[in-house]
Amino acid sequence: MSVQQADVARAEALGLTASEYERICELLGREPNALELAVFSLLWSEHCAYKHSRKLLSTLPTEGERVLMGPGENAGAVDVGDGLAVAFKVESHNHPSAVEPFQGAATGVGGILRDVFALGARPIAVLDSLRFGNLDSARSRYLLERVVAGIASYGNSVGVATVGGEIYFEAPYEQNCLVNAMCVGLVPVGGMVRSAASGPGNVVVLIGARTGRDGIGGASVLASAELDESDEDKRPSVQIGDPLEESKLIECCLELIGADLLVALQDLGAAGLSSSSSEMASKGGVGLDLDVSKVPLRERLEPFEIMISESQERMLAVVEPARLDEVVAVCRKWETNAASIGTVTDTMRLRVFNGDTLEGDMPVTALVDECPLYDLEPVEPADPLAAFATSRPALPAGADPEQTLLALLGSPSIASKRWAFEQYDFLVGSRTVRRPEHADAAVLKLAWDGNDTGRGLAMSIDGNGRRVACDPYIGAAEAVCECAANLACVGAEPLGLTNCLNFGNPEKPHIAWQLTRAVHGMSAACRAFGVPVVGGNVSLYNEGPEGPIYPTPVVGMVGELPESAAAGSSAFQASVDGGDADMVALVGPFAPSLMGSELAKLGGTLAGGLPPFDLAVVRQALELVREAVRAGAVRSAHDVSDGGLAVTVAECVIQGGVGATLDLEPLIHRAEVDPRAALFGEGPGGVVVSGPRESLMELSKKAAGSGFLALGTVGGERLRLTAGAATIDVSVQDARSVFSSGLSGLVP
Amino acid sequence: MSAGGGSIFVVRVGVVVFPGSCDEADAYQAIERAGLEAEYLWHGERNLRGCDAVVIPGGFSYGDYLRAGALARFSPVMEAVSGFALEGGPVLGICNGFQVLCEAGLLPGALLLNESLRFVCRQLHVQVERTDSAFTGACEQGEVLSVPVKHTTGRYFAPDDLLQRLEHEAQVVLRYVPGENPNGSLHDIAGVVNEQRNVMGLMPHPEHATDPLTGSTDGLKLFSSLAVRGATVPA
Amino acid sequence: MRVRVLIRPKEGILDPQGQAVERALPALGYEGVSNVHVGRLVELDVPDGDGDVEARVEEMCERLLANPLIESYEVQSIDD
Amino acid sequence: MRVRVLIRPKEGILDPQGQAVERALPALGYEGVSNVHVGRLVELDVPDGDGDVEARVEEMCERLLANPLIESYEVQSIDD
Ligand SMILES: Nc1ncnc2c1ncn2[C@@H]1O[C@H](COP(=O)(O)OP(=O)(O)O)[C@@H](O)[C@H]1O
Ligand SMILES: [Mg+2]
């Protein structure tokens, strides 16, 4: 077949390669018309087709006894007992947020909510994982402020609690901020609906907002190309969120599913109607005939625009003709549009009509399954950190331990995120047992329809890109450990994991290496912990003129607790009525190292590499902590994370409003490190616990293989730390004020 | 209607649901926890189906578009609520419900954008200024309650003369304790009642303070006040 | 008829949005800007025909578009 | 000089507020009102003197007052 040069150029302008265009011509047996080309270009984009990541993702462990839905559905779902399933997924909205931070972040929340209620689950919680450049840049401050406001505006308005998240500030995110949102929902096991269209003759119903020009040339294109100076041209297509429409859509869809009126349901995300319809058809092994003239519009649109519009707050349902009237009635009750826009066929083709005119005719498998997949060509770089923008050192070389601790506590990535989370409604739904800053993970009651099971759900989202940059395999494994540790500290056992892989351009060998190593590391940790990956998302091409972002796998985990009333907290507790002071101990194989640490960043000594560690021992230690929390044997538990042990205990002290006196000698001895590393070194597998002496001594007996070091006692109004010759003696008040103002002092 | 010797009069409380309401289920649960019966009242309904009291819950009715509470107050159910309130029926507006009641003219004053211009979600303390209202009867005078706020538009405002009248008539029933005013409200006002003291609005969320596991149980008192008050509701 | 409604915070009521703008301008190099107020703009097509359109719109303002306790408004008719 | 800035959602950009008001009006007895848009109004005193005031305000709009991606703006000078 001879392909015109001009057509190839047109395809390339839409992001396809010449050989992909040829492949499309082959699959169609002719050249695509303009509408077909637009549809192909979006469905074959990185964002929809996972061209560079699909093979790698298939190496993740996805099986588990309790997995009800794994990758491939809108969200993953696991069985939590009592007839309930918990559905969850994390998704990125990075590029849209870099272009318009408020709407980008808001519609990111809207999108992930739809993925969760698409399967019939009621969204009960949102978490968000954010990355920005350092706050000395006006752009980063602006992005932070608007992204947080956007998440707040949307999440608060739809009435879903935003219960957790994380924010890091690093130079490589200056041009490419990351906005990853995770949603957790609940659904009776029998009440889930899938997205596979079926039953030729069934009606395709578009529910929700009217369609406008939103996002045309948007997410799919944006998410597949590097942002550069020409940002401006990509701008006019910003999608606007309407949380009121979403809240009606949630109730409407859940009522439709509850009344068993739907055969299938799917959200409209990237590439709009094109991808939702073809994916539903592909999963069901059927075809669809759509009539774009039936789509309710906000303004006049061309057929191809209707097919690719990314207008928000829309869902696509398959309905038996006999139930159509009932469906329409429910939609009317919720004051949301419902339009029959097509029918299910047995042709395995997606046919697009405009009234009687056939505007496009494409094999469903060509659209969904036959996009060429590419092999990554990883090459390990000589220096893993060479490609990244660096931060100016913020800490003078001769800083003493006390100054160092205060500098770390006030460093925006470590400092209190109260400025952000107080903008989120973390209470709506009356489930929030552990709210932000009270514990390492959010804990929500596992209740349904007013019936409290007494059990709890814990959730956390984590990922430290800087450490992954230092060693992608170990860094990604650490992200899984961190999430698992957060769950253990509240007494929860992991049920499943979702992830978002935020990376640079995978066509570059060193990025391909980061991606490959990170997925392998994550995979190894999931296997070691026995946690299945039930879903996720990939965001590639996060690069700007100053280089790529840090490789940032973000891990979200959901776990269960037998008793929400026994959920752990991270605060030390003062002794009551002159009783004995609580003892403080470090549980786990934690071996502190300054490699990749926050201190290395602040001190300007960051270098590649991270120390290896034994996943099995970490798992053992976390199980011990989990059981101790559940049994009430400890009064607090807090894992060692950014800033090391000194920062961790400072946080316990600040949250508890009570001091502590600790000596790190046993750690220095066991780990064979210098005092500075003992104080500020980082690494997985450490949990600081406090509790009555007797019960901690009991715990130490069980800790044989995994590590237990008594460090000191809780009490007083000062935090006193001794590590060899180094000492720190700060008042709880001073520590708190630095911690509280580290972030809030930098934003307007 | 009689209260009987010391026995609690159980009332049926309607919880109004607008498009965009968020805390209706929380309010429903809180009412039940206070030992009362709860029932949802859909925004399109034109009567209160015999409810003895009404709660307008928090959220973002009609997206808070235009002005918080401005669109909701024109929904059919609000006509019934107005009539009920004017006859002396107990009506509680929480957060967005407070905004709706102000917009509807059932409560004095208005709620403006927080001074910080931001949404604020925070546990804080309010002091009970008066116990002689439909929803504070179960509290002690001067009692301090731990309750959360969560809103963007909670800065209570009334023009000077009105404000003085409110103070003079003791219509300010809840105040943020000194130093904890989260939004710039005049006189630290957190909650007010109408002249008849049967309609109350407050920015804090008592329905989110009815369970020790999720923060506090102090909010229960506002709902259980209804049980005490039930006896005096006009038939 | 196309009508424009300008809605402003009433004189004397704290306008933190206006203040925030006023505070932000000098940092961008705009000195001396003062008396900044932020309000709302509503524009709508009102069918003419039945009587005094502006009077109807003023009524809409009183009832819905503005809150007279805290806001003042001004109705302008515009010819596109 | 007192300047008024009218800020509106751009043509074609979703305006949920405008939609919500439009849907509410018939229930209040105002039939036939259409094309309702809700935007923002900013009024400010700008020192004249150094050059073209309107041009400076347009620059302020681009940089701070409006979000040019999704909003259009119009600068009017007003004589009180
Ligand atoms: N990193 C990942 N790990 C596991 N599953 C993934 C990952 N990325 C994507 N997936 C799965 O691939 C499918 C397609 O994802 P996505 O394009 O984000 O879905 P949607 O179109 O519903 O937003 C989903 O089922 C998702 O869970
Ligand atoms: Mg989906």
- d(Cα A49, Cα A69) in Å, to the nearest integer? 20
- d(Cα B228, Cα B9) in Å, to the nearest integer? 7
- d(Cα A668, Cα A660) in Å, to the nearest integer? 19
CA dihedral A558, A559, A560, A564 (to 10 degrees): -80
Mutate to test the interface with A, among B123, B214, B216, B217 (most CBs of A within 10 A): B214
Of A541, A605, A543, which Cα lies nearest the Cα of A390?
A605
CB contact under 8 A, D21 and B63: no
Do the Cβ atoms of A466 and A606 come closer than 8 Å?
yes
**What pLDDT score does B8 carry?**
43
- B27 Cβ contact partners less than 8 Å away, ≥ 6 residues apart: B15, B38, B55, B57, B58, B94, B207
The protein residue with its alpha carbon nearest to ligand 1, atom 27, reads: A535
What residue of A is the nearest CA neighbor of D20? Answer: A244
Of A226-230, A666-670, B179-183, C26-30, the one with minimum mean pLDDT is A226-230
Q: Residue A134, Cβ neighbours under 10 Å: how many? A: 21
Residue with tokens 């401006």: A232
Give the dihedral sign, CA A104/A107/A113/A118: negative
- d(Cα A480, Cα A463) in Å, to the nearest integer? 8
- d(Cα A734, Cα B2) in Å, to the nearest integer? 59
Q: For strands A583-587 and A708-714, give the pairing.
A: antiparallel
Please, where are the H alpha helices in A184-230?
Answer: 219-222
Report how far apart, in Å, the C-alpha atoms of A400 and of each of A647, A661, A726, A729 are: 15, 19, 8, 12
For B29-50, letters b (16+ CB in 10 Å) and e give bbbebbebebebbebebeebee
Identify the burial level of A392 via C-beta atoms within 10 angstroms of its C-beta, where 0-12 means exposed, 13-18 middle and 19 or more buried: exposed
Three-state helix/strand/coil letters over D20-48: HHHHHHHHHCCCCCEEEEEEEEEEEECCC
Q: Residue C55, Cβ neighbours under 10 Å: how many? A: 10
**What pLDDT score does A370 carry?**
93
Do the Cβ atoms of A20 and A34 come closer than 8 Å?
no
Answer whether A115 contacts ligand 1 (Cβ < 6 A). Answer: yes
**What pLDDT score does B6 carry?**
37
Q: Residue A298 — φ and ψ, nearest 5°? A: -95, -25
Answer whether A72 contacts ligand 1 (Cβ < 6 A). Answer: yes
**Ligand 1 atom having least distance to the Cα of A72:** 25
- A490 Cβ contact partners less than 8 Å away, ≥ 6 residues apart: A434, A439, A440, A441, A443, A456, A458, A561, A567, A568, A569, A629, A637
Neighbours of chain B (3+ CB pairs under 8 A): A, C, D
Both tokens assigned to B114: 């927080």
Answer whether A477 contacts ligand 1 (Cβ < 6 A). Answer: no
Both tokens assigned to B196: 């008849």
Distance of CA B95 to the CA centre of its chain: 7
Task: Give bridge partners of residue A187 from the DSSP assignment.
Answer: A85
- A225 Cβ contact partners less than 8 Å away, ≥ 6 residues apart: A15, A541
Write out the DSSP string of B65-131.
Answer: -SSTTTTGGGSHHHHHHHHHHHTT--EEEETHHHHHHHHTTSSSSEEE--TTSS-EEEEEEEEE---
What residue of D is the nearest CA neighbor of B76? Answer: D27
CB contact under 8 A, C56 and D28: no
- d(Cα B81, Cα B14) in Å, to the nearest integer? 10
Q: Which residue from C40, C42, C60 is facing D30, i.e. has the nearest CB?
A: C60
CB contact under 8 A, D43 and C24: no
Which residues of chain A fall short of a pLDDT of 70? 1-3, 217-236
- A373 Cβ contact partners less than 8 Å away, ≥ 6 residues apart: A49, A50, A51, A52, A54, A55
**What pLDDT score does A233 carry?**
43
The protein residue with its alpha carbon nearest to ligand 1, atom 22, reads: A74
- A260 Cβ contact partners less than 8 Å away, ≥ 6 residues apart: none
Residues in the 5 Å CB sphere of ion ligand 2? A 74, 115, 267
Q: How far is C70 from chain D (nearest CA, A)?
A: 16
- Mean pLDDT over B103-112 rounds to 97
Q: Is D55 helix (H, G, I), strand (E, B) or coil?
A: helix
- d(Cα A183, Cα A161) in Å, to the nearest integer? 10
* Chain B residues within 8 angstroms (CB to CB) of chain D: 62-63, 65-66, 71, 74-75
Do the Cβ atoms of A511 and A505 come closer than 8 Å?
yes
Of A390, A432, A394, A443, which Cα lies nearest the Cα of A415?
A394
Do the Cβ atoms of B214 and B227 come closer than 8 Å?
no
- C12 Cβ contact partners less than 8 Å away, ≥ 6 residues apart: none
Q: How far is C56 from chain D (nearest CA, A)?
A: 9
Residues in chain B with CB shorter than 8 Å from the CB of D20 are 62-63, 65-66, 71
CB contact under 8 A, D16 and A213: no
- Mean pLDDT over B188-197 rounds to 97
Do the Cβ atoms of A323 and A260 come closer than 8 Å?
no
**What pLDDT score does A6 carry?**
74
Of A743, A746, A742, A724, which Cα lies nearest the Cα of A734?
A742
Task: Give bridge partners of residue B93 from the DSSP assignment.
Answer: B56, B201
- Mean pLDDT over B28-42 rounds to 96
Whether D42 shows a pLDDT value over 90: the answer reads yes
Task: Give bridge partners of residue D40 from the DSSP assignment.
Answer: C40, D7
Phi and psi based region of residue A632 (left: phi greater than 0; alpha: psi -120 to 50; beta: remaining): left
Whether B231 shows a pLDDT value over 50: the answer reads no
Span C38-62, pLDDT tens digits: 999 999 999 987 678 889 999 999 9
- A184 Cβ contact partners less than 8 Å away, ≥ 6 residues apart: A86, A87, A88, A116, A123, A124, A125, A126, A127, A444, A457, A459, A558
Report how far apart, in Å, the C-alpha atoms of A518 and of each of A171, A475, A507, A525, B198 are: 21, 7, 16, 11, 62
Across the C:D interface, residue pairs with CB atoms under 8 Å apart total 98
- A718 Cβ contact partners less than 8 Å away, ≥ 6 residues apart: A659, A729, A730, A731, A732
Q: For strands A203-208 and A338-345, give the pairing.
A: antiparallel
Span A295-333, pLDDT tens digits: 999 989 999 999 999 999 999 999 999 999 999 999 999
Task: Give bridge partners of residue C7 from the DSSP assignment.
Answer: C40, C73
Do the Cβ atoms of A506 and A376 come closer than 8 Å?
yes
User: Mean of the per-residue pLDDT values for chain A?
Assistant: 94
Q: Residue A185 — φ and ψ, nearest 5°? A: -135, 165
The confidence band for D49, taking pLDDT boundaries of 50, 70 and 90, is confident
- d(Cα B166, Cα A293) in Å, to the nearest integer? 58
